[in-house]
């Protein structure tokens, strides 16, 4: 593995403040909004259907007065990124994000070498083209990349299908709900926090470096 690439929402960024801003904008309790969101996730529907339920025409976070800040990073983000960077891995952050969101994360001073988003590339996960853009941008083969995300449908399974290694992070609404899906059995690696990435990398390395055959 030469590069570790991270999804953004609910992988690096705790989106609690984002959804709170949406609820406030819509004039409904946060509990109501999260209940509707959970139902959509479990029903395999796109989360943007939520905005239709709330009768919000635009999904631009700017209308909610929301901007990604340092307080939104999960507590384990900075330490694992620094650890991976020190170990010599290329670090990427990519996601299905509106214009400017990736830059907001990068501006927090994280050790990031590569970044991109669906709004910039014109292709969104789970389309294979999204993961093709990652590999092309890094100049690496698919099997030299570990993709880390909180969603089976958007992150982990599409990355695996194209030939990347992938780690499913059981975190956030999607992570907890999708962990019980039957498709979770097809996941190559599962982690409950970003610290688990080092163990994943060790396992992958152990698979690649096979012992030499015994001499007769």
* pLDDT tens track, the chain, 216 positions: 999 999 999 999 999 988 888 888 888 898 988 888 888 887 777 777 777 777 776 656 666 667 889 999 999 999 999 999 999 999 999 999 888 888 888 889 999 999 999 999 999 999 999 999 999 999 999 999 999 999 999 999 999 999 999 999 999 999 999 999 999 999 999 999 999 999 999 999 998 655 544 444
For residue 215, being part of any structural domain is answered with no
H helices present in 139-209, as ranges: 157-162, 172-178, 197-208
For residue 216, being part of any structural domain is answered with no
Asked whether residue 55 falls in the same domain as residue 117, the answer is no
Helix or strand run (H / E) with residue 165: strand 165-169
Pair 17, 72: CB distance under 8 Å = yes
Distances (CA, A) of 94 to 2, 63, 194, 205: 16, 22, 16, 24
Asked whether residue 58 falls in the same domain as residue 80, the answer is no
Asked whether residue 28 falls in the same domain as residue 7, the answer is no
Asked whether residue 53 falls in the same domain as residue 146, the answer is no
Specify the residue for token string 């780690």: 167
| Per-residue pLDDT at 42 | 79
Asked whether residue 108 falls in the same domain as residue 163, the answer is yes
| Per-residue pLDDT at 63 | 63
| Per-residue pLDDT at 52 | 77
Asked whether residue 93 falls in the same domain as residue 197, the answer is yes
| Per-residue pLDDT at 21 | 85
Asked whether residue 37 falls in the same domain as residue 136, the answer is no
Q: Which domain holds residue 152?
A: 3-13+69-208
> Tokens at residue 213, please?
């055959």
Per the structure, the count of domains in the chain is: 2
| Per-residue pLDDT at 212 | 45
């Amino acid at each position: 593995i030469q590069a570790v690439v991270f999804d953004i929402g609910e992988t690096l960024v705790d989106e609690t403040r984002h959804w709170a801003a949406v609820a406030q904008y819509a004039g409904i309790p946060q509990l109501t909004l999260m209940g509707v969101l959970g139902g959509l996730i479990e029903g395999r529907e796109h989360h943007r259907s939520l905005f239709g339920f709330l009768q919000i025409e635009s999904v631009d976070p700017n209308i909610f007065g929301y901007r990604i800040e340092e307080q939104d990073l999960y507590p384990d983000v900075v330490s694992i990124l620094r650890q991976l960077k020190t170990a010599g891995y290329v670090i990427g952050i990519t996601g299905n994000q509106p214009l400017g969101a990736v830059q907001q994360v990068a501006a927090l001073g994280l050790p990031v070498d590569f970044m991109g988003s669906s709004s910039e590339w014109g292709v969104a996960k789970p389309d294979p083209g999204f993961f093709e853009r990652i590999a092309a941008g890094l100049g690496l083969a698919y099997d030299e990349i570990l993709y880390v995300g909180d969603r089976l449908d958007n992150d982990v399974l599409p990355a695996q299908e194209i030939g990347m290694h992938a780690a499913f992070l059981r975190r956030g609404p999607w992570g907890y709900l999708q962990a019980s899906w039957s498709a979770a059995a097809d996941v190559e690696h599962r982690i409950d926090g970003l610290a688990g990435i080092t163990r994943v990398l060790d396992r992958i390395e152990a698979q690649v470096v096979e012992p030499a055959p015994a001499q007769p």
